[in-house]
Structure 1
Amino acid sequence: MGLDLLRRWPGLTEKYYRRADEVLGFELSRLCWQGPAQELRQMPVTQPAVVLTSVVAHEVLHAHGVVPDIVAGHSLGEFSALVCAGVLDWVDALRLVRLRGELMMAANQRVPGKMAAVVGLDLATVEEMCAKAAAASGEVVEVANHNDFTQVVVSGQTAAVDALAGLVWQAGADRVVMLEIGGAAHCTLLGGVEDEFAAALEDVEFRDPVIPVVSSFSAAPVASGADARDCLLRQFTGRVNWTGTALRLAAEGAGRLVEVGPGKVLGGLCRRITPGVTAYRTDSEEQTALTLAGLAG
């Protein structure tokens, strides 16, 4: 993760990766660049790794004169978006997502859970199937992400998610994909650790945005630093409304989107939600170069 960008812009190693290693107390840089994948997939490692890689990619864009008019982030990506908007210091964001991952992993160890993406059904149908699966299993399964009009991610206890998978197949789903997340996210199973995360948020300075931000929880503009803190807390157990977020970005006039960080999924989602937008990526040196060329044209 991020290694090809650092080969092209080596000065970012000391500024970001070595600093991150010091802040977190372990070699996040080594895990990003070398793995092993099994360790990188652990939530307390995955989350700071994604945020750090996103911050570095944004630094590259900024150094080439790319300044966003508006920002948003999907779930974990909202931390990176708030860094970009001047709301959060990147080091504070790194510490917060490390704790976020630890709390999520601890919750999953107490009550094992998982997530699944349902493709080909609308939100209302998946919500109905969640209610049926929860009633049949006696366990929690809820909508975690409304990713686009026909892609919905569910989260909950293992047996309930498995039951939901059977029901949505019967309802005509095109695909059901079990996600390698390492547990459940964006559901009420995390309620038991929510207070600890709330306390950590209160200990961090949240400034008012200098660039407009749309929250992926509310799909509405983030009005202040206090509002940003509240959105991060509410998304901890609440649903990610990416469909509403993409529609809001389009309504605000965002026609060229850049997916900043190691991923390449959100651009595709946005093109399906708001056809006609142009989406760029930064998940490799080649894609970053294409993005810089496209935005310069």
Structure 2
Amino acid sequence: MNAYIFPGQGAQFSGMGLDLYEKSPEAQQLFNDANKILGFSITDIMFEGSPEDLKQTRVTQPAVFLHSVILSKVLGENFKPDMVAGHSLGELSALVANGVLSFEEGLKLVHKRALAMQKACELKASTMAAVLGLEDEIVEAICADVEGVVVAANYNCPGQLVISGEVEAVEKACEELKDKGARRAMILPVGGAFHSPLMEPARQELADAIEKSTFNKPSCPIYQNVSTFAVTDPAEIKKNLVFQLTAPVKWTQSVQNMIKDGAKTFTEVGPGKVLQGLVKKIDRSVEVSSGEI
């Protein structure tokens, strides 16, 4: 069975999507539609902007989404998923790719998500940190003991976990994690504490937008960050998507469940190859590749 996976924020690069735009009239049309839906020329920033321009959350999230979704559409007959999953933001790309959301509905939700998260980031000084070389249970226990808000946010692969929360609490947790033998506990250059309780204002804002959106029956199951199991019921997909902003991204568990359910190949659709690397660290026996036109 073929699993298709979609990257999240952090996969962006200058010039992203330009090759699609130049090679495919369908891609050109979709990019032009996106500029109208968003009310600004995101293609100018994607194709010609600096890494700094692309780092703004309001730009990054729709840019990564557009690259992934438009590539999946341009692949045409070569895009045949038996199951899909997306890392954080990538879950919305996956939901357009498997027919749950239309291109326009998906892009509008991504735009609202980005603005709501940006707003939540500005309410309190917060950050995230990558922790390497410790078991999940040790990281979780230390986060639970530290004063203030700090939680496990991204279970990326065995031995690689990202924590998220208030700046002081994250810094304190990093010190204790190093004392416990972490190979690295490094603050990440991000604007806030994604996938933590500090995203609650954004979750409430996005919940309203999700509730008003039309969710269709998917063409294949999605393995969502919150539940990690195959989901096909639109109401359940909606509910999981609402809680995704404040809940951890359980990527390791999702990939393990996809493999358990028969996935033999994982194709990453979108910018970069980060997810392919994570999948290989989770299970070396599966094949990974990039979706290419």
TM-score (norm 1): 0.90
Count of residue pairs brought into register by the alignment: 278
CA contact (8 A) 2:220 2:232 kept: no
Q: Which residue of 2 aligns with 1:127?
A: 140
Task: Report matched runs for 1:1-297 at 5 Å.
Answer: 1-7=16-22, 9-63=23-77, 65-133=78-146, 135=147, 139-282=148-291, 288=292
- Native 8 Å contact 1:44 1:97 kept in 2: no
Query: Aligned-pair distance for 1:68?
Result: 1.0
Is the Cα–Cα contact under 8 Å of residues 257 and 267 in structure 1 kept in the other structure?
yes
Question: For 2:69, what is the secondary structure of its paired residue?
Answer: helix
Q: Do 2:27 and 2:74's aligned partners in 1 also have CA atoms closer than 8 Å? A: no
- The DSSP-based 3-state class of the residue aligned with 2:70 is helix
Query: In 2, are the aligned partners of 1:187 and 1:239 still within 8 Å (CA)?
Result: yes
Question: What amino acid does structure 1 have at the position aligned with 2:114?
Answer: G
Q: CA deviation at 1:75?
A: 0.9
Q: In 1, Cα distance between the equivalents of 2:162 and 2:244?
A: 14
**Cα deviations across residues 143-184 of structure 1 (Å, max 9, x unaligned)?**
111111111011111111111111111111112333233211
Which amino acid is the alignment partner of residue 195 of structure 1? Q
Conservation of the 8 A alpha-carbon contact between 1:141 and 1:156: yes
Separation in structure 2 between the aligned mates of residue 262 and residue 12 of structure 1, nearest angstrom:
18
- What is the TM-score normalised by the length of structure 2? 0.91
Cα distance in 1 for partners of 2:125, 2:76 equals: 41
Q: Distance in 2 between matches of 1:189 and 1:253?
A: 36
Q: Which string of whole-angstrom CA distances, capped at 9 and with x for unpartnered residues, describes residues 170-218 of structure 1?
A: 1111123332332111110011232221110011100111112111211
- The answer to which structure has the higher helix fraction is 1
- CA separation in 2, counterparts of 1:59 and 1:23? 18
Contact kept? 1:259, 1:280, Cα under 8 Å: yes
Distance 1:263 1:158 in 2: 29
User: Structure 1: any 5+ residue segments left out of the alignment?
Assistant: 283-287, 290-297
Please report the RMSD computed on the Cα atoms of aligned residues, expressed in angstroms: 1.4
Could you tell me which amino acid in structure 2 is paired with residue 40 of structure 1?
L
In the alignment, the residues of structure 1 paired with residue 246 and residue 114 of structure 2 have an alpha-carbon distance, to the nearest angstrom, of: 13
**1:34-60 superposed Cα distances (whole Å, 9 cap, x missing partner):** 113222111111111110000122123
Structure number with the bigger relative contact order (C-alpha 8 A, sep ≥ 6) is 2
Q: Aligned with 1:240: secondary structure? A: coil
Q: Answer yes or no: is the 8 Å Cα contact 2:27–2:70 preserved in 1.
A: no
**Counterpart contact for 2:94–2:222, Cα < 8 Å:** yes
Q: Percentage identity across aligned positions?
A: 38
Unaligned runs of 5+ in 2: 1-15
- SS in structure 1 of the partner of residue 245 of structure 2: helix
